Amino acid sequence: MEQVATNTSSPSGAQIIFYQEQNFKGDYYECSSDCPELNSHLSHCSSVRVKSGAWVLFERPNYLGDQYVITRGEYPNYHHWKGNNDSIRSCHMIPNFSGTFRIRIFDEPDFRGQMLECMQDVNQLLDVWPTGAIHSAQVQDGAWIFYELPDYQGRQYLLERGQYRRFGEWAAMEPTVGSLRRVHDI
């Protein structure tokens, strides 16, 4: 018998449903706001439905570990959100933006050195940023995802509006970025 738990405190209408088993089976948990500890609701997460909004899933509690940014749609198993396993322990709702996106990236810490301003997705950062390293960034509008590899592959890092003086501030272990993409609630 399936069990449902609910967390419905979001004025934005964002909604995500976590299922313990693949293909949306087993116990599930409905959520409409940030949740720092999903383990108290489900022992693991093997599939996800995003009814609305954009979300970042974390492999560890309290918004730590590998990140996976997902938008409206169905994810019947962790491979569909490019996960490594069924360990999703926390989630963060990404605020809806007006449609304007702008980020500045720098090749040195503290917003020094060469600067590039982007307002569109970049699937091959090396084509426009020869160093391939981003040491600091300023997100002026919207939310962005940095991908470790070109073509939106590899580890993901969410950057919301704000300043990131060093790559560790977006939880990266090194400054290598292969591509970057705007976060849309499609």
Total residue length of the chain = 186
Please give the Cα distance from 38 to 9 (Å, whole number).
16
Can you say how many angstroms the Cα of residue 159 is from the centroid of all Cα atoms in its chain? 8
pLDDT tens-digit readout, 59-72? 999 999 999 999 89
Helix then strand then coil, in percent of the chain rounded to 5, is 10, 50, 40
26 Ramachandran zone, left/alpha/beta (phi>0; psi -120 to 50): left
pLDDT at 75: 96
| Alpha-carbon gap, residue 7 to 33, rounded angstroms | 7
- State pLDDT tens for residues 75-105: 999 999 988 888 899 999 988 766 789 999 9
Domains and CATH numbers, the chain: 4-94 (2.60.20.10), 102-182 (2.60.20.10)
| Mean residue pLDDT across the chain | 89
Hey, what are 186's tokens? 């499609």
pLDDT at 9 over 50: no
